[in-house]
Structure 1
Amino acid sequence: MQGPNKSTKSFKQAFLKNLLLGLQLHAPTSTSFGSRAMNLHLRKLAVKSSANVAMAAARCATRTDARWPSAILASEAGATPSSGACKVHRCRRIVSRCWIRSGRAGGDAVARRLLRTRTMALRVVIPGGRDTTVDQATLLREAMDYAVHLRAQVDVLRRLSESVQRSSSISRQGQQ
């Protein structure tokens, strides 16, 4: 039990360090009210981009056997389009389609089709999953690893947000 907690803690520390560096790079050099001020949409994009790059860089620093960090870094660098072209099908739709087709095919064919459909949906969601050389076992390992690191990213961002809110409320109380 001590190993995963230690690696998660080191990942969170590396993530926070990389996130702060990324946010500093995205920050305008003049004052926030100057001509180069960022609107809310640009701030959201900067935070999202910085968080993605920080997560991938922190993952590469802790271990290098996963493929998704390099896929994130490549997409953020502009090698592949990062637009929201990914559509995830709901499980109910997939199951209902399989039930409709089940009259024509046996149960094994329906199960294979369902597995193939869910695997294709997972390939769309996981960065680097569209690579055709990745087998199903590797894809599942990548998905689990990616989900664990997304959870750690959410945890760090939540704690960062809480600390910023606390410090701003303390500074407001000090001004009154």
Structure 2
Amino acid sequence: MQGPNTSTKSFKQAFLKNLLLGLQLHARTSTSFGSSAMNLHERKLAVKFYANVAMAAARCATRTDARWPSAILASEAGASPSSGACKMQRCRTIVSRCCRRKRSWIRSGRAGAGAVARRLLRTRTMALRDVIPGGRDAAVDQATLLREAMDYAVHLRAQVDVLRHLSEAVQRSSSISRQGQQ
């Protein structure tokens, strides 16, 4: 039986492998990735795109009981690396809409505490369905949605750790190469 650290470590290794393969493929197929023709924002979107795909592919390789990896792979299949801005705007809209509704319900005071709690639960569940890939599927009940959300959050954290370590390694190597050139 594997412990949680072993599972996370194998996920991180698979994620890093998939990310590097995706970025290498993009660099080979795109003439502008390494050149100055691609601006910083386009590079950021390309890295985010390939990080999402690598995370989903690594999760599918380690375990198959989660729904969100297949939802990410399905949504990213027809997308290009520059389509991430729409998702971010949609998430911001959902959060602001949810906060406005909550304030209006609390101020009105017309409904009982149970009704307000049920509305808040329903609203937050719908917001969570919008954030979690594959959460809008009608077959997903609340317990499954919460398990998916926890699993997705754990793997997003692992993605952040790997990308942070990768960034630190690139910064260290670039500083060492600059010191060697002096």
Please report the TM-score for the alignment, with normalisation by the length of structure 2: 0.86
- Specify which structure has the higher proportion of helix: 2
Q: 2: CA distance between counterparts of 1:47 and 1:114? A: 36
Unmatched runs of 5 consecutive residues or more in structure 2: none
2:74 corresponds to which residue?
A: 74
Q: Structure 1 residues 86-95 or 40-49, which shifts more?
A: 86-95
Counting matched residue pairs gives: 171
Runs ≥4 in structure 1, deviation > 4 angstroms? Answer: 28-31
Task: Within 5 Å, give how 1:122-141 maps onto structure 2.
Answer: 122-141=128-147
Q: 2: CA distance between counterparts of 1:166 and 1:57? A: 28
2:179 corresponds to which residue?
A: 173
Which string of whole-angstrom CA distances, capped at 9 and with x for unpartnered residues, describes residues 121-168 of structure 1?
A: 101111111111110000000000000000000000000000000000
- 1:28/1:38 contact within 8 Å kept: no
Task: Within 5 Å, give how 1:22-171 maps onto structure 2.
Answer: 22-28=22-28, 32-33=34-35, 37-78=37-78, 83-84=86-87, 85-86=90-91, 87-89=93-95, 92-103=99-110, 105-171=111-177
Q: Which amino acid aligns with 2:5?
A: N
Q: 1: CA distance between counterparts of 2:42 and 2:127? A: 29
Unmatched runs of 5 consecutive residues or more in structure 1: none
Aligned-residue offset at 1:93: 3.5
Q: Percent identity?
A: 78
Secondary structure of 1:129's match?
coil
Q: Which amino acid aligns with 1:69?
A: P
- 1:56/1:70 contact within 8 Å kept: yes
Q: Structure 1 residues 16-25 or 93-102, which shifts more?
A: 93-102
Q: 2: CA distance between counterparts of 1:156 and 1:44? A: 16
Q: 1: CA distance between counterparts of 2:109 and 2:115? A: 8
- 1:101/1:110 contact within 8 Å kept: no
Q: Which amino acid aligns with 1:171?
A: S
Please report the TM-score for the alignment, with normalisation by the length of structure 1: 0.88
Aligned-residue offset at 1:94: 4.3
Aligned-residue offset at 1:95: 3.3
